[in-house]
Structure formats: C-alpha cells, structure tokens
C-alpha cells in the first residue's frame, strides 16, 4: 500500500534553490484538479475513438480502460517523484537526478518536446476534419484537410508569437468546454438507453480482424494511450501549488479516475449508437454519435465544441514545445539561433518557427490522425518507462521532507508495461517508429552540431539543467 515517508522538517516544498524567490503558490486542490482533468481531456477521445473501434470492434471501451490502468500505475511513480522533488521540471529532472547523464537528459527532454509537436499535429488534423464537416466544405480527406491543418497551425504560431499563454482561469473555462462535449455524448447514450434505442449488446463484441483478441486489445491500447497523456504535465505546476506534497496524491489520482470513467462511458455510448465499422470511418467519430443518437441536436454546435477542444490542445502543446527548444538553446545544448527572443513581443521567435516547421512537415507528409496520435503515445511510453525506472534508482536518494512512496511493485509493473507497449510486439505500426526516429535524429544532429560549434568557439560545453527548462509535457 502507498505510504507517506516521514523524514525531517520542511514538508512544504516552499524553498527555492540558490536563494531565488519561489513561484507564487496559487493553486489549491480544486484548481489543480481542473488543470489535470483539462490536460487529459481533449484530442484523444474526440479524434481516436473510431480508430480504436477499428482495432477491437464493439469493446472499444476496453483499450481505454487498459490504457487508464497503465497510466494510473505510472501516475504513482510521478507522485513519489513530484512529492520528493516538488520542482517544475518533470521527467527531465527525474532522469537527470537518477542517471546524471546529460545526453540522456537531453534525449528525454527532446522526446517530450517531440511528443508535444506530434500531439499538436494530431489536433490540427482533427480540427481540419471537424471544420470540413461543420461548415460542409465538400471534402473529408486529402489536400483540403492538409491545407486547413497548415493554416490552423500557422494561426497557432502567430498566437504563440504574440505571447499568449495558458492562465489558470483560461484552463478552467477550456476544461468546462471540453468536458461539456463529452458529457453531451454520455447524456445522449443515457437517453438512448432509457428510450430503448441503440444497441448496447455491441459493447461486448470483439472484432480484431486477423489478430487474436489479446493482440487486438494490446494494439488498440497503444493507440488509446494517447487519450490518457497529459496527467504528467501537472508535475510542472508543483512550485505553484499550495502544499504540493499533501494535495498531489489525492488530486492526481482523483483526476485520473474521473477522466478514465468519462472515457469509458463515452466509448460505450459511441459504440451503442454507431457500429464500429461506421465509427472508424473519418476523423469525426463523435459527430457521428451525435447525429445518430440525437438528430435534433445542432451538429454545428457540437462540431465547434470539438474544434475548440482540439485547438486548445494544439496551442498548449506548441507553447510547450517552443519553450523547451528555447530552454535547451539557452543552456547551450541546441544551436544559439533557437534561443533568440523577439525584441518587442519577448517570445522565442526562432524556436516557434522551428517547432512550427516540424509540425508542418508532420501534417503534410504524415497527416493521418492514428499515425500522429500513435507516435505521441510511443514517445511518451518511452519517457514513462524511464520515469518508472528512475523511481527505483532514486530510492537511494533520501530527502529531508515528507513525501509519497509508491509500492515497489507498481514502478516495476509500470516500466514493463510501458516498455512493452512501446515495442513492435504490441502491434505498433513501423510508421510510428520512423516518425519518432526522424524527430529524435533531428534533435541528436542539432545537439552534435552545437557541441562542435561550442568546442571551436571556445564556449563552455552545454550542460542541460532541467530546472531551467520552461516547457511542460504534452496534452491531448
């Protein structure tokens, strides 16, 4: 059973290293819960429900449930680490403390950045598909969707350049909008059940094609995991939470339980109203559910809710990715050009252009929502494997504060489960490895170029300090 380890004084986590002032602690349990729920809800469930159904048939809820359990186990590892080291740096900090190898820390940080870009690209594609459907543009695939996605991403870059970030109040509003859309789906499902409509017998039907039942569920779980990412982002708020060591365990687990329940209910409602073969067609599965279960409901309104939810995901992810690139540049592990700041807007202009260019490439040459969402899940599963191992390594590093301690078996199970879901044996398409590989190779090449430039110019070799990174993890 999980426990609180009691050591010395100072359980508050209020101190700041080096005598620097702490961030303002403004988030209590309520705001932290909304932040977590808002980060997890988003593009994953809105865009990928149909693709998960294509893998397993009527039991579309099962991969979401398995993905939730894997995320829950990993969340216990994050809880031990965030209450042990309540600093805003996340996986990169834990990797650095556990292994002390700057290049490994860089790879983890760049993987988190890359997952943010693939997540934002997934959101751009979902936004395009919903826009085409809502405004009846006459196409649902091909060059039209790509052009809308590129235009949308360009708009996100402009907003990013102006310096618009996420405030706590904005997060509350956006969370309510995203949550409203999913509650509408659940409400339609309940209405259909009460009225004898729909076919709820489908929720226990398996259709895994040529795969075995277990193989189909595992493959679908690897995709559904994209819907669960975002909870790890909350650790970056540790320095702005009131009593983080006390409130984080209950709030993070409560937030995950709430979102997991919502996802299962949404997927059950969806498959009861729309057969799996129809649900898997196109990138707007929940619009089909509304049309089938509540024909009188204004589809345009729900489409706008969906567009708003995924647009929020894209903006937050691109903000995170550009700030991470900027942070790594200022520390000398990426080229200095990527650390330039606009003299008027005071935003990292070249980092924004760099991350936007990567997103443009993904939208243009990859495009498909399952490939982009699956790549996001792949990158995060690798990061989560490292974090689960880091928990065990850092047991040798006691701290003078009370902190959460997860049962040893959970990080072991979490590391094995995340590592397995990241392998080809889990039915993951090779395309996702190519996408992730290209992104990481770009990072390694930039790192190597930076090292050579530093040596020739006599600059000190770059040492990545995770506490100085300003980015956060991806949201979906």
pLDDT of residue 169: 55
Q: Among 213-217, 454-458, 470-474, name the one with the lowest average pLDDT.
A: 470-474
Q: Is the pLDDT of residue 11 over 70?
A: no
pLDDT of residue 470: 56
Write out pLDDT tens, residues 70-95: 999 999 999 999 889 887 667 888 99
The confidence band for 56, taking pLDDT boundaries of 50, 70 and 90, is very high
Percent of the chain with pLDDT over 70: 87
Percent of the chain with pLDDT over 90: 47
Residue the block writes with tokens 């996802």: 263
Q: What is the pTM of this model?
A: 0.86
The confidence band for 163, taking pLDDT boundaries of 50, 70 and 90, is low
Residue the block writes with tokens 């009131």: 242
Q: Is the pLDDT of residue 283 over 90?
A: no
* Token couple for 293: 């279960």
Taking all residues of the chain, what is their mean pLDDT, rounded to a whole number?
A: 85
458: left (phi over 0), alpha (psi -120 to 50) or beta: left
418: Cα within 13 Å, side-chain hemisphere = 30
pLDDT of residue 81: 92
Q: Say if residue 406 is exposed, middle or buried (CB neighbours under 10 Å; 0-12, 13-18, 19+).
A: buried
Write out pLDDT tens, residues 199-221: 999 999 999 998 999 999 999 99
Q: Among 9-18, 400-409, 449-458, name the one with the lowest average pLDDT.
A: 9-18
Q: Among 2-11, 58-67, 89-98, 209-218, name the one with the lowest average pLDDT.
A: 2-11
pLDDT of residue 140: 63
Write out pLDDT tens, residues 354-389: 999 999 999 999 978 889 999 999 999 999 999 999
Q: Is the pLDDT of residue 60 over 90?
A: yes
Rg (CA), the chain: 22
pLDDT of residue 172: 67
The confidence band for 9, taking pLDDT boundaries of 50, 70 and 90, is very low
* Cβ neighbours around 143 below 10 Å, total: 9
Q: Is the pLDDT of residue 17 over 60?
A: no
Q: Is the pLDDT of residue 12 over 60?
A: no
Give Cβ neighbours of residue 23 (< 8 Å, ≥ 6 apart).
Answer: 16, 88, 239, 240
* Domains of the chain, residue spans: 48-468
Q: Is the pLDDT of residue 266 over 60?
A: yes
pLDDT of residue 474: 65
pLDDT of residue 7: 40
The confidence band for 170, taking pLDDT boundaries of 50, 70 and 90, is low
> 48-468: which CATH number, 1.20.1740.10, 3.10.400.10, 1.10.10.60, 2.40.440.10?
1.20.1740.10
* Cβ neighbours around 307 below 10 Å, total: 21
Across 116-130, average pLDDT: 91
Q: Is the pLDDT of residue 472 over 60?
A: no
């Amino acid at each position: 059973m999980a426990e609180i380890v009691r050591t010395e004084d100072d359980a508050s986590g209020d101190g700041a290293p080096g005598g620097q002032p702490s961030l303002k602690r403004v988030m209590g349990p309520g705001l932290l819960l909304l932040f977590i729920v808002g980060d997890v809800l988003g593009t994953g469930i809105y865009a990928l429900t149909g693709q998960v159904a294509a893998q397993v048939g009527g039991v579309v809820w099962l991969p979401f449930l398995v993905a939730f359990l894997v995320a829950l186990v990993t969340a216990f590892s994050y809880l031990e680490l965030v209450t042990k080291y309540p600093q805003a740096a996340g996986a990169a900090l834990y990797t650095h403390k556990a292994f002390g190898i700057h290049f490994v820390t860089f790879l983890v940080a760049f993987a988190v950045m890359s997952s943010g870009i693939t997540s934002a690209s997934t959101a751009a594609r979902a936004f395009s598909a919903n826009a085409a459907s809502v405004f009846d543009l006459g196409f649902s695939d091909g060059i039209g969707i790509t052009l809308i996605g590129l235009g949308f991403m360009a708009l996100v870059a402009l907003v990013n350049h102006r310096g618009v970030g996420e405030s706590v109040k904005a997060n509350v509003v956006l969370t309510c909008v995203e949550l409203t859309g999913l509650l509408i789906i659940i409400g339609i499902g309940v209405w259909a059940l009460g009225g004898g409509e729909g076919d709820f017998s489908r929720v226990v039907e398996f259709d895994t094609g040529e795969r075995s039942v277990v193989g189909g569920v595992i493959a679908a779980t690897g995709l559904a995991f994209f819907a669960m990412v975002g909870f790890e982002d909350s650790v970056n708020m540790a320095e702005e939470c009131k009593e983080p060591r006390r409130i984080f365990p209950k709030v993070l687990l409560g937030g995950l339980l709430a979102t997991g329940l919502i996802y299962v209910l949404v997927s059950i409602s969806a498959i009861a109203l729309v057969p799996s073969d129809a649900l898997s067609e196109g990138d707007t599965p929940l619009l089909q559910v509304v049309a089938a279960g509540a024909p009188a409901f204004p589809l345009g309104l729900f489409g706008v809710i969906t567009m708003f939810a995924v647009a929020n995901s894209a903006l937050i992810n691109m903000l995170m990715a550009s700030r991470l690139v900027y942070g790594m540049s200022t520390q000398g592990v990426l080229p200095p050009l990527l650390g330039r700041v606009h003299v008027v807007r005071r935003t990292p202009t070249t980092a924004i252009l760099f991350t936007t260019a990567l997103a443009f490439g993904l939208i243009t040459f990859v495009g498909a929502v399952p490939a982009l969402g699956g790549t996001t899940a792949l990158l995060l599963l690798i990061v989560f494997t490292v974090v689960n191992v880091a928990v065990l390594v850092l047991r040798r590093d006691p701290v003078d504060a009370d902190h959460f301690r997860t049962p040893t078996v959970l990080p072991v199970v979490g590391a094995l489960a995340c590592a397995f879901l990241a392998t080809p044996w889990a039915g993951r398409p090779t395309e996702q490895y190519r996408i992730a590989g290209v992104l990481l190779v770009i990072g390694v090449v930039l790192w190597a170029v930076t090292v050579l430039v530093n040596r020739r110019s006599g600059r000190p070799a770059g040492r990545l300090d995770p506490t100085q990174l300003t980015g956060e993890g991806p949201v979906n």
